[in-house]
Structure 1
């Protein structure tokens, strides 16, 4: 079957959410604006997540998975999804479902004119501490990258395949996806999307890795920006 859109779903110890993920994503496949498939990336889960993923993929024809032998982190899971995807467009959503798969259609409305379209969480349903730390982290990142993005941590994005394949990912770079598209002379857009409280499972990010980690990653981004190679082939024979 010819798919147009691959939705990457990183999973790390999310057994309590996966049946809900299956239900909502299966529903999205019936209403999506592009012919879509799902790619779970099991990031070395230590609970029953992998067994549940295998069961889901047996039940659902458009669901597939890859599994790491050990936990590598969110950036690695997204990078693996980029590596394995073959469709013209790639999406990303977290398995905690604090964003709504249906909102992919809002992003896909614009993807023909942009290389990356990212959600920005409207009326966030997180704690005051989490909201403030994210706001500070986004401000620090913007001061380094000038990417103009208000919410790069939003786990709802759509990106064109050829641009995704050229992103040289490192740990923490998932926060810099818009900046990396701008380095490729691509265009980015942010679109308001819905946000919900987490109702199952445990958050994987806390104050330290939401503030200190992103601050240190900014220096890695600056090094990469200085060394980044970007070229377009004009002719070949």
Structure 2
């Protein structure tokens, strides 16, 4: 399979039906795909609605957590379950327009895709959020860019496309989804960026506040900086043709 679209969802019952329908329309030109909705321990009808929609959308799959584990855990579970060699993620609150998916995955699905391209990261323009979220995000992105030098304006955007094998080789930790450009670069992959649109939340409520994000962000930044400094800096040489290694030299 070429493409798996993975979306973490926690108490997003109001968004399930419009989200699936919009993805179906936006990705009609993408064949050999699947949509994986990860219900992260929801207490509402999120899982029930996903199951009901599977009758009309056979390429829709459901992955469930017994209790909430957070966005990174949900993405990781979805990628583990995925069959596609390329993964595209977006948030389940409808703020990431599904119409951006084809543009985001195109560089990775192209026949002449660079062998070292690991991640295409979306960067939001004209962000439709409260002023407090915008300010908090701008401060956090500035601090992160200074500490990690990841050359990324907006790592909080849920719209990302990446190689499945490369993602699963990354060190997993909670909140890692906010640091994918730095982590992919750490492992030697090239990172591309695409500007993407943004809109107001569809239904439901936000699952975090600025104070909570700031507290965990401090520890995350220190941890990611440590991982970058401790990255493996050597890779094996390409294998030589059989019978032509140094041990067989005449």
What's the TM-score, normalizing by structure 1? 0.92
- 2:98 alignment counterpart: 101
- 2:125 alignment counterpart: 122
Question: CA–CA distance in 1 between the matches of 2:195 and 2:57?
Answer: 30
**Secondary structure at 1:189 match in 2:** strand
Shift of 1:54: 1.3
Which one of the candidate residues 176, 180, 183 is aligned to 1:177?
180
Shift of 1:38: 0.3
**Secondary structure at 1:228 match in 2:** coil
Deviation string 1:175-232 (CA, Å, 9 cap, x unpaired) is 1111110011101111111110113110112111332222220111122223334664
- 1:193 alignment counterpart: 196
Which one of the candidate residues 186, 201, 205 is aligned to 1:202?
205
Which one of the candidate residues 55, 58, 61 is aligned to 1:61?
58
Q: Does 1:86 align with 2:83?
A: yes
Shift of 1:31: 2.8
- 1:135 alignment counterpart: 138
Question: CA–CA distance in 2 between the matches of 1:179 and 1:151?
Answer: 12
Shift of 1:59: 2.5
Mapped contact 2:126–2:198 kept (Cα < 8 A) = yes
Q: Does 1:18 align with 2:16?
A: yes
Question: CA–CA distance in 1 between the matches of 2:85 and 2:91?
Answer: 21
Which one of the candidate residues 228, 233, 239 is aligned to 1:235?
239
Mapped contact 1:10–1:95 kept (Cα < 8 A) = yes
Shift of 1:57: 2.1
Mapped contact 2:88–2:105 kept (Cα < 8 A) = no
**Secondary structure at 2:84 match in 1:** coil
Question: CA–CA distance in 1 between the matches of 2:81 and 2:234?
Answer: 23
- 2:6 alignment counterpart: 8
Which consecutive unaligned segments of at least 5 residues does structure 2 have?
243-250
Provide the alpha-carbon RMSD of the alignment. 1.7
Q: Does 1:36 align with 2:33?
A: yes
Larger radius of gyration: 2
- 1:163 alignment counterpart: 166
**Secondary structure at 1:116 match in 2:** strand
Mapped contact 1:29–1:37 kept (Cα < 8 A) = no
| Stretch of structure 1 that moved more, 208-217 or 64-73 | 208-217
